[in-house]
C-alpha cells in the first residue's frame, strides 16, 4: 500500500528531528494524535496540530499523558493510526496504558524524545536513559519494538517504519529519539508518495460469527477489527481467551502471555536494522545509537588513522536487541566499546549477547551534553589492547 | 415465606429473557452479588438503548475497573474494558477516531471520579460527545470496600474503619460546573424514570452525565450495618425526593440522608468536534479538510 | 377494581394481564421483585435452585397486570413478563 500523496510533504526541506518525525507520521497515514506538551517533544505535536487541519486528522491536547496514551489506544480501536509524543516524565506516566496497548494488541506509536533524567532532570538537554524503560517500563511480561534514529532524515523514515511494524505485529512501537536529534536542523528529503510503502492494518475478512479477536494467525498475530463494524467484540486488559473474554486461570495466562512475547521473539532475526561500517575484519567495534553514534565518528576516525581496525555498529531497531550480530562479532573481535548517554543500559544487552567471549567497555555519560570524542577514543584504545 | 410450590416447567431453561439479545449470554451468570444494584442499572440502560433506537452497530461501551467496570463485559456491543480511571480518555480516542460512533462510558464512582477525576473534568469542559453513566455505590467495592470520593461522612469503609471524615463530592454539581449538558441523578429503584433519563442522555449531543445511586450489599451495606441491598432499596424508596431542576448545591448526600434525584441540567452547547470543525473552517476556509472517520483499507 | 361511579367507557376498559416467566437458575434471591410488585403477585418460594437461593414464585398469578416492574428491577435477568393477549379482566365492583 502506498502513502497518500496529499499527506506527504514531498521535496527538500530544512527540518529539525521533531518536525521530520511529524512529517514521517503524516506520510505513514497517522490520523489521530493525542498529546501533552513536554520539552523537547512539543514541536512534534505542534506540527501535527498545524498540519492536520489541511490533510485530515484529529489532534487533541489531552489533560495529561495518562489520558493521552489511553486516548491513543482508544483511537486505534476506533480505526485510526494513532500516535503520541512525550519525553521522560511523560513516558513514565504512560507506562500503564502502554501495557494496556500490549495486552489489547493495539497498533500505535509512542515517540519518546529523551532528555536528561531522572525526574524533571534537564528538560532542554539530551539524554538516552530511557532505553531500558522502553522495554521494561510497564509491569508484567510483554515484548515490543523500539527504534532509534540519529538524524532528522532518519527520523522521517523511522516513523514510517514504526507505523508499519506496529500494524504488522499489532504492538505499540516506541521511537526513542533524543533532544539533540529532535532539535537539530538538517536537510530532509521527502520523496514522492508512491515511494513510501505502508503496511495496511490487518483487518479481518471473516464474518462476525466466525471472527475471534485474539485467535492468532500463523505468525501469532490475530486479525484486527475496529469499533463500529458490527463485530460486537469485547476487548479487555484482563487476561483473556481467544474470544476476548476475561479468564482467571493460569492456563489462559500462560497461553496469552506466551503468545504476546513469542510473536516478537519469533521474528527477532528479521527485526534487525543495523548500520554497520567496517565490522568485517574489525578488532574493536563501537556500538552506539542516536546522537551518541554521530559523536563516535570522529573518535573512530582518529583511531583508524593510528591503525586500529575499528568497526561502527549502530542499531536502528534497538528492541528486540540484535543479539545475533553481537554474538557473532564477539567471537572474533577484541572488544566492544558501547557509547551511550546513560550509566549503562544497552551495554548490559551487549554484554549478555557477547556471552563473555569478548570485553565490553562502556563510555557512560550523565546526559545534558554529548560525549567528548576523546573519551571514546581512549576507550577504543583500551579495547584494542 | 409461604408454602407456595414452584411449578416445574420442562422448557424453563429455554426461556429467553427479552434483553438476551443485548447481553453476552455465554458469560452469564454475572459476578455481581445478590441484591447488588448494578444489574438493575444495566437493565435500565439496555431498555434505554432499545428505546433510543441508536443503531447498535454504531454503539461502543467503555468501562474502567471495578464492579461497575465489568458492565462492558456483559453487554453485547463493541465493548472495551480499559485501565482504572481511563475509560473517559479511551472513549475520547474512540469517538474522535470515528465520530459516527455513539460512545457510552459506564463505570463506577471510584473509577470515574477518583482516579479518573481529571479526565472527567476535561471531557465535560470540552463537551466531548459521550454519555457517562456513573454508578455511585459510595465505595470501592471490587477491591474490598475502601473509601471513595463519594463516601458520606461517618460511613465505615475498610480504609476508614472509624468512619470517613472527608467531605465527599456532589457529583451533579461537579458535572454541571464543568460544563456537562445533561445532568441527572436517579436511584436504582426508580427504574422507569432512570431508563427514560438514560434515553434522553443517549440521544443528547454532548457530554451527558447520569448518576445512578445503587446499593452495595456486601460492602457498603454490611460494613455500615444497613442490611442487604433490599434494605437499601427500601431506604431509597422512603428517602429519595424527586426535584427536577433543583439547586445543585443542595444535592449533597450525607450518611443515610435524603437523596434528591431528578434531571438537573439539560442545555445546549457545541460539542468538541462541532466547535473545533467550525472554528478551523472559519480560519482556514477552503484549506480545511474535515476528518470524517476511518477510511476502510482495501 | 373499585370505582365510586361507573366510568362511561367501562365496557371498553381492559386491564392487561401478564404471564410471569421465572428463570429459576439465574435467581439470586434478592427479593426486589417480591418487594416492589404493586399487585403483590410474587413471593419467595420454599424451594431452592441449584445455587441454593429461593427463587420467586407467583402466589397470585391472576393479579398480575403486566406492569413490568419486576422484569426491570431484577438484577439477574431472571424473570420477565409476557402479555396474555386473550384474557382480560373486567371491572369487578362498582359502587354507585
Q: Which residues of A97-122 are buried (b: 16+ CB within 10 A; e: fewer)?
A: bbbbbbbbbbbbbbbbbbbbbeeebb
Among A322, A345, A316, A327, which residue's Cα sits nearest to residue A268? A322
Chains A and C touch (3+ CB pairs under 8 A): no
Between A138 and C95, the more confident residue is: A138
Cell numbers at B218, concatenated: 456486601
**Does the beta-carbon distance from B195 to C43 stay under 8 Å?**
no
- Among the partner residues C21, C47, C78, nearest to B6 by beta-carbon distance: C47
Alpha-carbon distance B227 to B237, whole Å?
A: 15
Cell 472559519, residue located: B282
B chain contacts of residue A63, beta-carbon cutoff 8 Å: 118-119, 121-122
End-to-end CA distance of chain B: 64
- The domain limits of chain B are 24-287
- Arithmetic mean of pLDDT, B242-254: 94
B chain contacts of residue C76, beta-carbon cutoff 8 Å: 29-30, 39
B144 in reach of chain A (CB within 8 A): no
**Does the beta-carbon distance from B32 to C32 stay under 8 Å?**
no
Chains in contact with B, counting 3 or more C-beta pairs less than 8 Å apart as contact: A, C
- Among the partner residues A79, A203, A234, nearest to B98 by beta-carbon distance: A79
Q: How far is C63 from chain B (nearest CA, A)?
A: 16
B chain contacts of residue C23, beta-carbon cutoff 8 Å: 12-13, 15, 17
**Does the beta-carbon distance from C78 to B36 stay under 8 Å?**
no
Cell numbers at A244, concatenated: 476476548
Chains in contact with A, counting 3 or more C-beta pairs less than 8 Å apart as contact: B
Query: B36: which residues sit within 8 A by CB, 6+ positions away?
Result: B67, B214, B215, B216, B217, B218, B229, C75
Q: How confident is the model at residue B15 (pLDDT cuts 50, 70, 90)?
A: confident
Which of B 177-236 lie inside 8 A of C, CB atoms? 189, 191-192, 195, 228-230, 233-234
Give me the total of CB pairs closer than 8 Å, taking one residue from chain A and one from chain B: 164
CATH class of segment(s) B24-287:
alpha beta
Dump pLDDT digits (tens) for A108-142: 999 999 999 899 999 999 999 999 999 999 999 99
**Does the beta-carbon distance from C76 to B30 stay under 8 Å?**
yes
Q: Classify strands A145-147 and A108-116 as parallel, antiparallel or unpaired.
A: unpaired
pTM of the model: 0.93
Dump pLDDT digits (tens) for A79-111: 999 999 999 999 999 999 999 999 999 999 999
pLDDT above 90 for B172: yes
Q: How confident is the model at residue C86 (pLDDT cuts 50, 70, 90)?
A: low
| Domains assigned to chain A | 11-195 (3.40.50.970), 276-383 (3.40.50.920)
**Does the beta-carbon distance from A73 to B90 stay under 8 Å?**
yes
Say what the ipTM of the complex is.
Answer: 0.95
| Domains assigned to chain C | 2-94 (3.30.70.20)
385 residues of chain A, pLDDT tens digit each:
999 999 999 999 999 999 999 999 999 999 999 999 999 999 999 999 999 999 999 999 999 999 999 999 999 999 999 999 999 999 999 999 999 999 999 999 999 999 998 999 999 999 999 999 999 999 999 999 999 999 999 999 999 999 999 999 999 999 999 999 999 999 999 999 999 999 999 999 999 999 999 999 999 999 999 999 999 999 999 999 999 999 999 999 999 999 999 999 999 999 999 999 999 999 999 999 999 999 999 999 999 999 999 999 999 999 999 999 999 999 999 999 999 999 999 999 999 999 999 999 999 999 999 999 999 999 999 999 8
Amino acid at each position: 500500500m502506498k502513502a497518500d500523496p496529499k499527506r506527504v510533504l514531498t521535496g527538500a526541506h530544512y527540518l529539525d528531528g521533531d518536525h521530520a518525525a511529524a512529517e514521517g507520521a503524516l506520510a505513514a497515514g497517522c490520523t489521530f494524535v493525542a498529546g501533552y506538551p513536554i520539552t523537547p517533544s512539543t514541536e512534534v505535536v505542534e506540527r501535527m496540530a498545524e498540519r492536520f487541519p489541511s490533510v485530515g486528522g484529529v489532534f487533541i491536547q489531552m489533560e495529561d499523558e495518562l489520558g493521552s496514551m489511553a486516548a491513543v489506544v482508544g483511537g486505534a480501536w476506533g480505526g485510526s493510526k494513532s500516535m503520541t509524543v512525550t519525553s521522560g516524565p511523560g513516558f513514565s506516566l504512560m507506562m500503564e496504558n502502554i501495557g494496556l496497548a500490549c495486552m489489547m494488541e493495539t497498533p500505535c506509536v509512542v515517540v519518546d524524545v529523551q532528555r536528561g533524567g531522572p525526574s524533571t532532570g534537564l528538560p532542554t538537554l539530551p539524554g538516552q536513559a530511557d532505553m531500558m524503560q522502553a522495554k521494561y517500563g510497564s509491569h508484567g511480561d510483554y515484548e515490543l519494538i523500539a527504534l532509534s534514529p540519529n538524524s532528522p532524515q532518519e527520523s522521517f523514515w523511522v516513523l514510517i517504519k514504526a507505523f508499519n511494524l506496529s500494524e504488522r505485529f499489532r504492538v505499540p512501537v516506541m521511537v526513542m529519539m533524543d533532544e539533540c536529534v529532535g532539535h537539530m536542523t538538517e536537510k530532509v528529503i521527502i520523496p514522492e508518495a508512491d515511494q513510501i510503502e505502508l503496511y495496511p492494518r490487518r483487518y479481518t475478512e471473516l464474518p462476525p460469527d466466525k471472527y475471534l479477536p485474539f485467535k492468532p494467525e500463523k505468525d501469532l498475530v490475530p486479525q484486527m477489527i475496529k469499533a463500529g463494524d458490527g463485530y460486537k467484540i469485547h476487548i479487555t486488559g484482563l487476561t483473556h481467551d481467544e474470544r476476548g473474554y476475561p479468564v482467571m486461570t493460569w492456563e489462559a495466562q500462560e497461553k496469552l502471555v506466551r503468545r504476546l512475547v513469542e510473536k516478537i521473539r519469533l521474528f527477532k532475526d528479521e527485526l534487525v536494522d543495523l548500520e554497520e561500517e567496517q565490522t568485517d575484519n574489525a578488532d574493536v567495534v563501537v556500538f552506539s545509537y542516536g546522537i551518541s553514534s554521530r559523536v563516535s565518528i570522529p573518535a573512530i576516525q582518529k583511531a583508524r588513522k593510528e591503525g586500529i581496525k575499528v568497526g561502527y555498529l549502530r542499531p536502528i531497531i534497538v528492541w528486540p536487541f540484535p543479539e545475533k550480530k553481537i554474538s557473532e562479532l564477539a567471537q572474533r573481535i577484541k572488544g566492544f566499546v558501547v557509547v551511550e548517554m546513560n550509566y549503562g543500559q544497552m551495554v548490559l544487552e551487549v554484554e549478555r549477547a557477547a556471552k563473555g567471549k569478548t570485553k565490553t567497555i562502556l563510555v557512560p555519560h550523565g546526559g545534558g551534553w554529548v560525549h567528548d570524542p576523546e573519551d571514546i577514543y581512549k576507550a577504543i584504545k583500551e579495547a584494542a589492547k | 415465606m409461604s408454602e407456595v410450590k414452584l411449578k416445574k416447567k420442562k422448557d424453563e431453561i429455554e426461556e429467553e429473557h427479552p434483553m438476551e439479545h443485548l447481553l453476552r449470554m455465554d458469560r452469564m451468570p454475572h459476578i455481581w452479588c445478590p441484591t447488588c444494584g448494578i444489574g438493575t442499572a444495566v437493565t435500565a440502560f439496555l431498555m434505554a438503548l432499545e428505546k433510543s433506537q441508536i443503531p447498535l452497530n454504531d454503539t461502543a461501551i467503555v468501562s474502567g475497573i471495578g464492579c461497575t467496570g465489568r458492565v462492558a463485559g456483559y453487554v453485547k456491543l463493541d465493548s472495551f474494558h480499559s485501565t482504572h480511571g481511563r475509560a473517559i480518555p479511551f472513549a475520547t480516542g474512540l469517538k474522535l477516531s470515528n465520530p459516527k460512533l455513539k460512545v457510552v462510558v459506564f463505570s463506577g464512582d471510584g473509577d470515574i471520579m477518583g482516579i479518573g477525576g481529571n479526565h472527567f473534568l476535561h471531557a465535560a469542559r470540552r463537551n466531548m460527545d459521550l454519555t457517562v453513566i456513573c454508578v455511585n455505590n459510595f465505595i470501592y467495592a471490587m477491591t474490598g470496600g475502601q473509601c471513595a470520593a463519594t463516601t458520606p461522612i461517618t460511613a465505615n469503609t475498610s480504609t476508614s474503619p472509624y468512619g470517613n471524615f472527608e467531605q465527599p463530592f456532589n457529583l451533579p454539581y461537579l458535572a454541571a460546573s464543568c460544563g456537562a449538558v445533561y445532568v441527572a441523578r436517579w436511584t436504582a429503584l426508580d427504574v422507569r424514570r432512570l431508563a427514560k433519563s438514560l434515553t434522553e442522555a443517549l440521544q443528547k449531543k454532548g457530554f451527558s452525565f447520569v448518576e445512578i445511586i445503587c446499593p452495595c450489599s456486601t460492602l457498603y451495606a454490611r460494613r455500615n450495618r444497613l442490611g442487604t441491598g433490599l434494605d437499601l432499596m427500601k431506604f431509597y424508596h422512603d428517602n429519595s425526593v424527586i426535584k427536577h431542576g433543583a439547586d445543585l448545591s443542595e444535592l449533597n448526600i450525607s450518611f443515610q440522608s435524603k437523596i434528591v434525584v431528578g434531571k438537573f441540567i439539560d442545555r445546549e452547547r457545541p460539542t468538541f468536534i462541532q466547535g473545533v470543525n467550525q472554528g478551523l473552517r472559519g480560519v482556514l476556509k477552503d484549506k480545511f479538510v474535515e476528518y470524517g472517520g476511518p477510511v476502510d483499507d482495501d | 377494581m373499585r370505582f365510586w361511579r361507573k366510568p362511561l367507557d367501562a365496557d371498553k376498559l381492559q386491564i392487561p394481564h401478564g404471564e410471569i416467566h421465572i428463570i429459576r437458575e439465574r435467581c439470586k434471591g434478592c427479593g426486589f421483585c417480591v418487594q416492589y410488585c404493586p399487585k403483590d403477585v410474587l413471593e419467595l418460594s420454599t424451594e431452592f435452585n441449584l445455587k441454593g437461593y429461593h427463587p420467586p414464585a407467583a402466589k397470585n398469578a391472576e393479579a398480575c397486570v403486566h406492569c413490568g416492574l419486576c422484569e426491570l428491577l431484577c438484577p439477574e435477568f431472571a424473570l420477565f413478563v409476557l402479555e396474555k393477549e386473550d384474557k382480560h379482566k373486567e371491572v369487578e365492583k362498582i359502587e354507585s
